Structure 1
């Protein structure tokens, strides 16, 4: 199945992100401590959370590839979402630690001026992360993976954070040491904000929430299918990157089985044209208004 092939391809992007984050977090933390830069150390801890997030995506992609079994009739596609939820807790914990360290630094008697080399380390890291972002974004478009696309956007955010850290360090070097600490505090807030966004999205998915805009768009699409009189019920939920949709539509009761089946196939074709990774179940019911009209006649 193409879906599982794409999941395997998505692992490559996760491994590249993990490799980049391991290298950059090590370099940032070493130079951050040697160069006395709170901003660079905070950025290094930020990359540590990204390692956890990338590993979670990798584990989720692996488990999601397992086929359905007697206890998981819809497969294991939600494993990726559970892994993301777990990663959000770890990210939030590290973000809070970064904030605590930054606040403590503000109340220290004197703040050491960071070394200028720590700024160049930040800018170097930004270049690497932007390259990883471009690769993962291209991969996500090829395999149509929302998880890899989210990882790409996280890569881009990390590149921007590194640029911000570099600017803060330069400001500290040239006469404003507090800018380094303030930048570290802002990075801590960014880590927590990212953790909250991942947590929110994961919870919504696990509780079967469904985008209202998607409901409206797909409902209009179904209503335009020839033969559909009324869309009586619409239910949607997400399992990983796969969307499951249950529909109940009313049709002319005079239609035979073949004609009714054609309507269900046309509904599936139109939805899958804009939502390729979508499993659709259409239930056909006779429109009772036709029966009432015939009885009156």
Structure 2
């Protein structure tokens, strides 16, 4: 069975967005729909974001070297940050244009071509979202998971575009630029969510609940008296765990090493943690870990 790679998802995203952005921008300008033009610019930012993610994924595959002893996996998170900044800049621009149209009250009624274009786009992007969501889960790629979130927002944006254009057809001409305004807010919201998640990982943020779960499992291992310290961080899609455990002081080096191996196997087999660094200390009843 052929192994699926996260880069495939980035290429699918880029191809999809190129087609959709060109179609929406063309139809948006021809049909005079502010909402569809905003939707098209939204997809254009996604092209740039997907390219940034693809570059990040390719860099992350580079092997370790003297300057990067842990590899280049964090390039994925940096690419997510770049994508977030690009999306935010375009989102703000869409907001300004829509607000200006509402302020000047220069409403133009779009035609039905905009409705069919937006509707077809929503259906198409839903399938792209499902594909990349599944691929992100299979490859455990955070960058691709961020892209999949953006795909879902694109589906909702296109549905909103349909509502806005249909409303304009029913002589609620203000609904088209209002929809563009909402799209701008959604673009900015998605950009903020991606930025927050990527920056959390880049600053070595980690799920506290998972660390508690790891600690409980490790302390059940025969020979482990206590877990006195445990830390986690992400390198791309790889989890790195540093844990300090206490064992009986009379154990031999070989026995202590075997316990350390059991901890590593537990984390790898049950949680997929490939990189676990286990430090051994002698256990005493009044033991106080010097790192606490």
Q: Corresponding residue for 1:255?
A: 251
- What SS class does the counterpart of residue 102 from structure 1 fall into? helix
* Greater mean deviation of Cα atoms: 98-107 or 237-246: 237-246
Equivalent in 33, 52, 58 of residue 56 of structure 1: 52
Deviation at 1:272, TM superposition (A): 1.8
Structure-2 separation of matches of 1:159 and 1:289 = 59
Count residues in correspondence: 286
Q: Corresponding residue for 1:69?
A: 65
Q: Corresponding residue for 2:74?
A: 78
Q: Corresponding residue for 1:146?
A: 142
Matched, 1:275 2:271: yes
Q: 1:35-184, aligned counterparts within 5 Å?
A: 35-184=31-180
Structure-2 separation of matches of 1:110 and 1:62 = 46
CA deviations over 1:266-290 (Å, ceiling 9, x no partner): 2112222343254100001110239
- What SS class does the counterpart of residue 5 from structure 2 fall into? helix
Q: Corresponding residue for 1:294?
A: none
Structure-1 separation of matches of 2:154 and 2:198 = 21
Structure-1 separation of matches of 2:18 and 2:43 = 8
Matched, 1:246 2:249: no
Q: Corresponding residue for 1:196?
A: 192
Structure-2 separation of matches of 1:109 and 1:76 = 51
| C-alpha distance 162-198 of structure 1, shift in aligned 2 (>3 A) | same
Deviation at 1:225, TM superposition (A): 1.6
Structure-2 separation of matches of 1:290 and 1:195 = 49
- What SS class does the counterpart of residue 17 from structure 2 fall into? helix
Q: TM-score, normalised by structure 2?
A: 0.93
Q: TM-score, normalised by structure 1?
A: 0.91
| C-alpha distance 154-277 of structure 1, shift in aligned 2 (>3 A) | farther
Q: Corresponding residue for 2:262?
A: 266
> Can you give the 5+ residue segments of structure 2 that lack an aligned partner in the other structure?
288-292
Structure-1 separation of matches of 2:286 and 2:198 = 44
Structure-1 separation of matches of 2:86 and 2:127 = 26
Q: Corresponding residue for 2:290?
A: none
Structure-1 separation of matches of 2:129 and 2:273 = 24
- What SS class does the counterpart of residue 140 from structure 1 fall into? helix
Q: Corresponding residue for 1:211?
A: 207
CA contact (8 A) 2:24 2:39 kept: yes
| C-alpha distance 277-34 of structure 1, shift in aligned 2 (>3 A) | farther
Deviation at 1:109, TM superposition (A): 3.8
CA contact (8 A) 2:141 2:236 kept: no
Superposed CA RMSD = 1.8
Q: Corresponding residue for 1:235?
A: 231
Q: Corresponding residue for 1:29?
A: 25
Structure-2 separation of matches of 1:251 and 1:152 = 45
CA contact (8 A) 1:241 1:277 kept: no
Structure-1 separation of matches of 2:269 and 2:49 = 31
> Can you give the 5+ residue segments of structure 1 that lack an aligned partner in the other structure?
292-297
